[in-house]
């Protein structure tokens, strides 16, 4: 994919052989970790934050400065003995980290998997976890709730996206955009609606989308910006089964 077609997508173009989780001595993986994935000739720096989160055993985020990714949520975080696994939120099994916490709890080393490729990674504990509290969004109108399909076309490259927005029972709105081709599920950090105007902030990838819902409630037409890139994106309400 060419550089200008990165809208709504952060391509962490690293490239798993599965290493089974092994029951070893217990090591607490909570904390802020810094290190790199060893891409041949060009290590990619990463930061990982892991912390206990109420009902869930562990929650986490990853920061990849070279990719413009900051505090991107992790999923499938699991620890067993000294073994740890987690992945960037998206298609199960993609962008997957599997590693082992050292006996002194100071480091993690293992393998990163993507698209059938495996690369080593290593992390050093640098203190307590630094997971920022997520902002809450006011509820949105029912005309915006649901699933919307969109696409970005740039330099002959087309990327398909699925936007999902809904209201929670606690009175807040939540949403995400799935990059179909990349299998990456990008969270919306804040949803703002003012009449027919819609603004979506993607804090974890440094992007934003501003659009307008048409009178029929079938399309949101707008612009996505990320750094110096600005691309038109139209989301169309997905058809529902009868």
**Rounded to whole angstroms, what are the CA distances from 203 to 176, 187, 195, 200?**
12, 8, 23, 9
Q: How far apart are CA 205 and CA 13, in angstroms?
A: 15
Looking at the predicted structure, is the pLDDT value of residue 36 above 50?
Answer: yes
Domains parsed from the chain with CATH numbers: 10-125 (2.40.128), 146-237 (2.40.128)
Contact (CB, 8 A) for 112 and 37: yes
Tens digit of pLDDT for each residue in 194-224? 999 999 999 999 999 999 999 999 999 999 9
User: What whole-number distance in Å separates Cα of residue 15 and Cα of residue 117?
Assistant: 4
Residue 40 has pLDDT above 90, yes or no: no
What is the spatial distance between Cα 61 and Cα 71, in angstroms, rounded to a whole number? Answer: 5
Distance CA 157, CA 161 (A): 13
Residues 234/153, Cβ–Cβ less than 8 Å: no
Q: What is the pTM of this model?
A: 0.83
pLDDT digits (tens, 9 = 90+) for 100-122: 999 999 999 999 999 889 999 99
| pLDDT tens by residue, 77-92 | 999 999 999 999 998 8
């Amino acid at each position: 994919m060419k550089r200008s077609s990165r809208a709504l997508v952060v391509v962490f173009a690293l490239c798993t052989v599965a290493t089974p989780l092994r029951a070893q001595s217990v090591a607490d993986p909570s904390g802020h970790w810094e290190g790199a994935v060893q891409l041949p000739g060009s290590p990619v720096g990463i930061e990982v934050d892991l912390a206990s989160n109420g009902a869930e055993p562990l929650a986490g985020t990853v920061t990849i400065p070279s990719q413009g990714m900051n505090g991107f949520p992790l999923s499938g975080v699991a620890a067993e003995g000294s073994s740890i696994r987690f992945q960037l939120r998206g298609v199960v099994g993609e962008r997957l980290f599997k590693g082992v916490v050292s006996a002194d709890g100071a480091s993690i080393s293992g393998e990163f998997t993507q698209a059938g490729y495996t690369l080593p990674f290593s992390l050093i504990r640098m203190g307590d976890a630094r997971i920022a509290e997520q902002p809450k969004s006011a509820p949105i109108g029912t005309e915006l709730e649901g699933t919307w399909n969109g696409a970005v076309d740039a330099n002959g490259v087309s990327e398909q996206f699925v936007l999902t927005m809904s209201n929670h029972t606690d009175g807040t709105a939540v949403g995400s955009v799935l990059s179909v081709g990349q299998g990456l599920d990008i969270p919306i950090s804040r949803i703002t609606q003012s009449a027919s105007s819609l603004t979506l902030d993607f804090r974890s990838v440094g992007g934003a989308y501003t659009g307008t819902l048409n009178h029929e409630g079938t399309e949101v037409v707008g612009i996505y910006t990320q750094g110096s890139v600005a691309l038109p994106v139209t989301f169309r309400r997905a058809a529902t089964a009868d």
